[in-house]
């Protein structure tokens, strides 16, 4: 059977708890082999979405199809899914080894990737022999990543995957994601860390108060943002003549800062060329700018 080209499909997905709406009318598709970022502030509905995709919650409206199966109809598809919860829970008395063995046996698949993951995340045999209650937050997170990915899942649902990891381990995690994608796996990554999403993901969705605000490629979201233009002049100029190119955010006799849509850039540069320009700086917008613009 051919693999579904969209490992995740949600249509009109919603979840209500009494009068509280946690998620409303979410429709999106995530393609095979894609790294998809899911951004939003606390309480935006990111974790609710992941738990709906896994069938841990029953949707109030709509439906989710994961790896070609309706999530509420069967469970076999979950064998090909790796899941890392946002707050990594563990059985405190079990050792790391027992935890990994238990969760791998429940997955029903061989933990072929375990040894490689343990090596890359620097978890040693001695660490695995200790009860998880003695682990630091970072070690628990590493163990969480290993349990999610040890059975080489086709789809990884990762909620705040680098929480508590030091920069070296974050880099190791990014390398792991790159390798997974090289082997055709799909990664759905929920995060607060915009730089991480920008670095790892091809496409991004942004949620606010349970509603999808925007979805697109990282490049298109960046391009949709206005450029910050900072110009200094050798002589006093009338900056009001530049106001129609965009929003003036700061100005003086010999200094102006503007937010300018990309389409207006050629005309602005041409106009600035006619003025006694001393210095010109055009800042490329980041995903963070796009994020902040959405949530202001």
Partner 1 sequence: MSSVRVLLRHHVRLHRMPLVPLAAGLAVFEWIMTFVARQPTVSRFLTSALRAAPPEFLSLLNPDLVAGVSAQGIIGVGYAHPFALLMMAVVAVRVPSAALAGEIGRRTMDLMAARPVLRAAHVAAALVAMLAGLAILAVAAYAGTLIGLAVGPVEGVSALRYAPVAFQLWLTFACWGCVGLAASALCREAGQAIAWTSGLMAGSYVLDYAARVWTPLAPVRPLSLFRYYEPQRVVTGGLALHDVSVLAAVGAAALLVAFAAFLRRDL
List interacting residues with partner 1 (CB under 8 A). Answer: 51, 54-58, 75-79, 81, 83, 85, 87, 89-91, 93-94, 98, 102-103, 105-108, 147
Ordered alpha helix ranges (H), 150-245? 167-182, 194-200, 218-224
Report the DSSP pairing between strands 155-159 and 186-191. Answer: parallel
Cα(193)–Cα(176) distance, integer angstroms: 18
Nearer to partner 1, 50 or 206 (CB): 50
Nearer to partner 1, 89 or 252 (CB): 89
Nearer to partner 1, 78 or 227 (CB): 78
CA-CA distances (angstroms) from residue 208 to 41, 132, 144, 275? 7, 35, 27, 42
Task: Give the DSSP letter of residue 194.
Answer: H
DSSP 218-236: HHHHHHHSPEEEEEEESS-
Q: Give the contacts of 99 (CB within 8 A, at least 6 positions apart).
A: 90, 91, 132, 143, 147
Shortest distance, CB of residue 81 to partner 1, whole angstroms?
Answer: 7
Neighbours of 127 (CB within 10 A): 18
Task: Give the DSSP letter of residue 131.
Answer: B
Nearer to partner 1, 75 or 168 (CB): 75
Cα(114)–Cα(268) distance, integer angstroms: 55
Task: Give the DSSP letter of residue 99.
Answer: H
Nearer to partner 1, 15 or 203 (CB): 15
Shortest distance, CB of residue 131 to partner 1, whole angstroms?
Answer: 12
Cα-Cα-Cα-Cα dihedral of 170, 172, 178, 182, to 10°?
-160
Shortest distance, CB of residue 106 to partner 1, whole angstroms?
Answer: 4
Shortest distance, CB of residue 157 to partner 1, whole angstroms?
Answer: 8
Nearer to partner 1, 139 or 242 (CB): 139
Shortest distance, CB of residue 108 to partner 1, whole angstroms?
Answer: 6
Nearer to partner 1, 105 or 234 (CB): 105
Shortest distance, CB of residue 83 to partner 1, whole angstroms?
Answer: 4
Nearest-Å Rg of the Cα atoms of the chain is 23
Report residue 103: phi and psi, to 5°: -70, -30
Shortest distance, CB of residue 90 to partner 1, whole angstroms?
Answer: 7
């Amino acid at each position: 059977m051919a693999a579904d080209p969209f490992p995740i499909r949600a249509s009109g997905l919603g979840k209500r708890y009494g009068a509280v709406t946690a998620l409303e009318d979410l429709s999106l598709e995530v393609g095979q082999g894609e790294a998809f970022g899911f951004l939003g502030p606390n309480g935006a509905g990111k974790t609710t979405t992941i738990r709906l995709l896994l069938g841990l919650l029953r949707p109030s409206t709509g439906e989710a199809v994961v790896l070609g199966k309706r999530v509420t109809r069967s469970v076999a598809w979950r064998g090909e899914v790796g899941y890392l919860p946002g707050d990594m829970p563990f059985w405190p008395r079990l050792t790391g080894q027992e935890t990994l063995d238990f969760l791998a046996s429940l997955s029903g698949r061989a933990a072929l990737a375990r040894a490689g993951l343990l090596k890359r995340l620097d978890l040693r045999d001695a660490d695995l022999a200790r009860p998880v209650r003695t682990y630091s937050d970072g070690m628990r997170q590493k163990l969480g990543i290993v349990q999610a990915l040890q059975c080489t899942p086709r789809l990884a649902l990762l909620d705040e995957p680098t929480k508590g990891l030091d920069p070296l381990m974050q880099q190791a995690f990014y390398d792991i994601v790159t390798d997974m994608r090289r082997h055709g796996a799909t990664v759905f990554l929920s995060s607060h860390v915009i730089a991480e999403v920008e670095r790892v993901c091809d496409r991004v969705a942004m949620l606010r108060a349970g509603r999808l605000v925007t979805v697109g490629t990282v490049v298109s979201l960046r391009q949709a943002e206005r450029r910050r233009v900072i110009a200094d002049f050798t002589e006093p100029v009338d900056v009001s003549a530049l106001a129609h190119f965009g929003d003036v955010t700061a100005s003086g006799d010999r200094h102006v800062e503007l937010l300018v849509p990309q389409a207006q850039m050629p005309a602005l540069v041409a106009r600035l060329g006619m003025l006694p320009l001393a210095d010109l700086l055009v800042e490329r917008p980041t995903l963070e700018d796009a994020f902040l613009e959405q949530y202001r």
